[in-house]
Amino acid sequence: MDLSQGVRQGVVQYLDQNAFSQTVTPGGFYSTGIYLSFTTLTTLGYGDILPVNPFAMMLTNLEAIIGQMYPAIFIAILVGAYLSQKDNQQK
């Protein structure tokens, strides 16, 4: 999931060279996109690369939300399965 978002960040950087605060060398924009994607998804945010373009801002905000929702939903599924199994054992 994060790698595909990194590729999308790279495409945005390729289409608009001023989409992010840091310029990248040709051929290296996908690795910078993946780096940005990992720091955004984990909500770590080093602050060295910032989205400047409104579309890039939207993508990074969406990714930060997904970064919070993904583990919450995963944990909720695990707890639900555990409680369901525990309830079935008591019957």
The closest of 19, 86, 81, 65 to 10, measured between CA atoms, is 19
Which residues does residue 51 pair with via DSSP β-bridges, in sequence order?
A: 20
The closest of 45, 67, 52 to 13, measured between CA atoms, is 52
33-61: pLDDT as tens digits:
777 788 888 878 778 888 888 988 898 88
Determine the Cα–Cα distance for residues 36 and 40; give it in Å rounded to an integer: 6
Q: What is the total count of domains within the chain?
A: 1
**Contact by Cβ (8 Å): 56, 12:** yes
Residue 49: give the domain boundaries.
2-90
The closest of 65, 57, 56, 7 to 34, measured between CA atoms, is 7
pLDDT, residue 19, reads 83
Domain with 38 in it: what CATH number?
1.10.287.70
- pTM across the whole model: 0.69
